[in-house]
Amino acid sequence: MNIREEKVLVCGAGGFIGGHLIQSLLNQGISITRAVDVKPLDEWYQKSPMVENLSLDLREKDNSLAGTPGIKIDYQIAADMGAMRFIENNKALCMLSVLTNTHMLMAARESGVQRFFYSSSACVYNGDKQKHAQVTPLKEEDAYPALPEDGYGWEKLFSERMCRHFYEDFGLETRVARYHNVYGPLGTYDGGREKAPAAICRKVIQAKMSGDHSIEIWGDGEQTRSFMYIDDCIKGTLAILESDIYEPVNLGSSELVTINQLVDIVEEIAGLKLQRCYKLDAPKGVAGRNSDNTKIHNYLGWEPSISLRDGMAKTYAWIESQMLTPVTS
Closest by CA to 155, choosing from 237, 82, 92, is 92
Residues of the chain above pLDDT 90, percent: 89
Q: Which residues contact 256 (CB under 8 A, 6 or more apart)?
A: 135, 137, 224, 225, 226, 288, 290
Structural domains in the chain plus CATH codes: 3-183+227-251 (3.40.50.720), 196-225+256-291+306-324 (3.90.25.10)
- pLDDT at 1 (0 to 100): 64
Q: Which residues contact 314 (CB under 8 A, 6 or more apart)?
A: 184, 185, 229
| 41-64 tens-digit pLDDT | 999 999 999 999 999 999 999 999
- pLDDT at 80 (0 to 100): 86
- pLDDT at 176 (0 to 100): 98
pTM above 0.75, yes or no: yes
Q: Residue 271 carries which DSSP code?
A: T
For 107-133, what is the mean pLDDT?
Answer: 96
- pLDDT at 31 (0 to 100): 80
Higher-confidence residue: 3 or 205?
205
Q: Bridge-partner residues for 183, per DSSP?
A: 229
Q: How confident is the model at residue 327 (pLDDT cuts 50, 70, 90)?
A: low
- pLDDT at 87 (0 to 100): 82
Q: How confident is the model at residue 192 (pLDDT cuts 50, 70, 90)?
A: confident
Tell me the H-state helices in the chain: 16-27, 61-67, 84-89, 91-95, 97-111, 152-170, 196-210, 230-242, 259-270, 294-300, 308-324
The torsion angles phi and psi of 225, rounded to 5 degrees, stand at -150, 165
| 269-299 tens-digit pLDDT | 999 999 999 999 988 889 999 999 999 999 9
pLDDT at 329 over 60: no
- pLDDT at 328 (0 to 100): 58
CA gap 64, 69 in Å, rounded: 10
Q: How confident is the model at residue 326 (pLDDT cuts 50, 70, 90)?
A: confident
pLDDT at 224 over 60: yes
| 139-166 tens-digit pLDDT | 999 999 999 999 999 999 999 999 999 9
Active site residue 144: no
The torsion angles phi and psi of 47, rounded to 5 degrees, stand at -150, 155
The torsion angles phi and psi of 219, rounded to 5 degrees, stand at 80, -165
Lowest mean pLDDT among 31-35, 108-112, 324-328: 324-328
DSSP state letters, 111-171:
HT-SEEEEEEEGGGS-GGGGSSSSPPPBPGGGG-S----TTHHHHHHHHHHHHHHHHHHH-
Contact 238, 110 (CB under 8 A): no
CA gap 53, 35 in Å, rounded: 5
How far is residue 164 CA from its own chain's centroid?
20
- pLDDT at 4 (0 to 100): 72
Contact 37, 103 (CB under 8 A): no
The catalytically annotated residue of 45, 125, 152, 183 is: 152
> What integer best gives the mean pLDDT of the chain?
94
